[in-house]
Amino acid sequence: MRPRGAEVLRLQEDYLARLRRTLTGEDGARAAEIERSVEEHIDEALAEFGSGDVTPAQMANVLDRLGPPEAWARESERPAARATVDASQPLIPQDGGGGTPRPSATSRNGRLLALWGVVLSAVALIVAAIGVARYCRTISVMLQLPPETVVSAMQVAMGTLMLATILNVTGTILMLVALWASRYRAPWFRVALWILAILWLSSFPVGTVLGVMVIVYLVKHKQEFVAPTP
């Protein structure tokens, strides 16, 4: 077993404590067997990172890929055999049979949600910039144009800004679902969230509150965003 510091042990114990709470009411022998199986799975997964002390990032990565402790409490969803963990994909217990745990569908969905969320938010920024440019240009020449032309130009500018808002809200929702519901944890996603959270701060008050919440979350959970080992 690789050496583990206080923070690493705390992360593991928190996970096992959740597992024990889930197993409350189960037969004592069965509960002990499940906990021992999970501990063995954690040990084998950590071994894939090499030698030396286990880092909090490595432990958080392994626990996240194992999935929620509650899933291990169901006999039909526990792998019958311990297998090598693929560090490139999150894992969930496999139904019945034995064999290698399969990649989590939630993780795959999380990757798609994060990607589409970032793309839509980036497009929203471009569309918003176009809308602001149209609005400013209209204001600068409005005294030189007929009223009908000014009204038409303003409508186009406001429509562009409305489209940017819709794209931004949609992208933001997708990213938050990927972050909190699907628990997607790719390093590139963390960088994108940092950039967008800083931009959200200027959108008082909703964007400011959201930006602060995301920044606090990213700082608190930075050890979870680790690159997969080759």
Residue whose token pair is 């040990």 = 43
Same domain for 139 and 69: no
pLDDT at 77: 44
From 103, 120, 135, give the residue that closes a domain: 103
* CA 16/CA 92 separation, integer angstroms: 16
**1: in domain:** no
Domain count, the chain: 2
Q: Which residues contact 161 (CB under 8 A, 6 or more apart)?
A: 128, 131, 132, 135
From 83, 103, 123, give the residue that closes a domain: 103
The range of the structural domain enclosing residue 39 comes to 6-103
DSSP-derived secondary structure letter, 217: H
- Residue 189: is it exposed, middle or buried by C-beta count within 10 angstroms (0-12/13-18/19+)? buried
The answer, yes or no, to whether residue 99 has pLDDT greater than 70, is no
Same domain for 114 and 56: no
11-60 pLDDT, tens digit per residue, is 999 999 988 888 887 788 888 888 888 888 888 888 888 788 888 888 88
Same domain for 145 and 58: no
pTM over 0.75: no
**121: in domain:** yes
184-212 pLDDT, tens digit per residue, is 888 899 999 999 999 989 888 888 999 99
Same domain for 155 and 55: no
Q: CA-based angle 84:90:93, to the nearest 5?
A: 65
